[in-house]
Amino acid sequence: MAFAPVSAGAADLAGAWHGVISNLAVNIAIAPDMKFTETYVMNGVPTNVIGHIVPFSPGVVTFVVDDWSPKSNPVDRSVTYGESWVNPNEVVLTDINKHGSITLRRVS
């Protein structure tokens, strides 16, 4: 029986993930070196993002956007999340500043 990491590190995020909340759907692939590619669709409009993850403290990570397209879609350049692991294949990310949360499920 697998148990969820109590205080997972950023490396535990490596893999492909999917999440949906309200009017936002997210697909994100995170490499072992913590670089990520993300496609999110908000209100039917897709945005492609590339960036990297910076561990902030145990259980807290910052997603930093390096580039995105189309440029006409605004993005937050960095967002710091608290991680709450449900199990090794499901994590809830809560924005430290805005307090909104999204549940990501591992797809591979």
* Tally of domains within the chain: 1
Euclidean distance between CA atoms 28 and 13, whole angstroms: 10
Residue 4 domain flag: no
Structural domain of 39: 10-106
5 band by pLDDT with thresholds 50, 70 and 90: very low
For the segment 58-74, what is each residue's pLDDT rounded down to a tens digit?
A: 889 999 999 999 999 88
Residue 2 domain flag: no
- Answer whether 0.75 is exceeded by the pTM: yes
Residue 20 domain flag: yes
**Cα three-residue angle 90-59-24, rounded to 5 degrees:** 50
CATH code of the domain covering residue 38: 2.40.128.640
Burial (CB count <10 Å: 0-12, 13-18, 19+), residue 77: exposed
Residue 16 domain flag: yes
Strand 24-30 vs strand 78-87: parallel, antiparallel, or unpaired? unpaired
For the segment 25-57, what is each residue's pLDDT rounded down to a tens digit?
A: 999 999 999 999 999 998 889 999 999 999 888
What's the pLDDT at 9?
Answer: 55
The pLDDT of 75-104, averaged and rounded, is 93
Residue 71 domain flag: yes
Residue 1 domain flag: no
Comparing CA positions, the residue from 11, 1, 37 lying closest to residue 91 is: 11
